[in-house]
Amino acid sequence: MGGSRQHHHGSRRVNTHMPYIGRQVSQGSYTVLDDLSASFDGSTTQFTLQTNGSNVTPGTEAALIISISGVVQYPVTAYTVSGSVITFTSAPASDDSFSGVMLGDVNAVGKPTDGTVTASSLSTSFYTQNSTTLTDVTVSANKNAVLGGPVEISGTLTVESGSTVIIL
């Protein structure tokens, strides 16, 4: 946590750093962007996005939260991004303030490539085996099972209360 730091822009006071309130972020790489407001002149629309003086490249416009003088700017409508360059549709005024956060590594989950998910990737209650004979199978209460064939059960198949077995 930290305090806020204020800069004077004309007759306005502008907070450039706000303390973080709430649970700490547990995933993702959320990066505070360097302040661009020193370059605001009322006519320039393109600026290089940086963190600690190094150029950064967001995945898309939607991966940014941009605020000009406390007003959140909508991606694509108020600005676009190409590489590490942000282009505003209207030039920020020379007395405007800037704050920005780049959201990265937000843990997008896509479709796994065929053949890449194995039993070890699944929970410990998942069981798989190809072309096998099983003896005396019991599906515990309130559990589900899927058998994909060819599967032979020699002995007893017990499906306890609240359970489901699907045989494909």
Provide the pLDDT confidence category of residue 6 given band limits of 50, 70 and 90.
very low
With 0.85 as the threshold, say if the pTM is over it.
Answer: no
Provide the pLDDT confidence category of residue 115 given band limits of 50, 70 and 90.
confident
| pLDDT over 90 (residue 121) | no
| Tens-place pLDDT, residues 59-92 | 889 999 999 999 999 999 999 999 999 999 999 9
* Integer Cα distance of 116 and 93 in angstroms: 52
| Tens-place pLDDT, residues 80-89 | 999 999 999 9
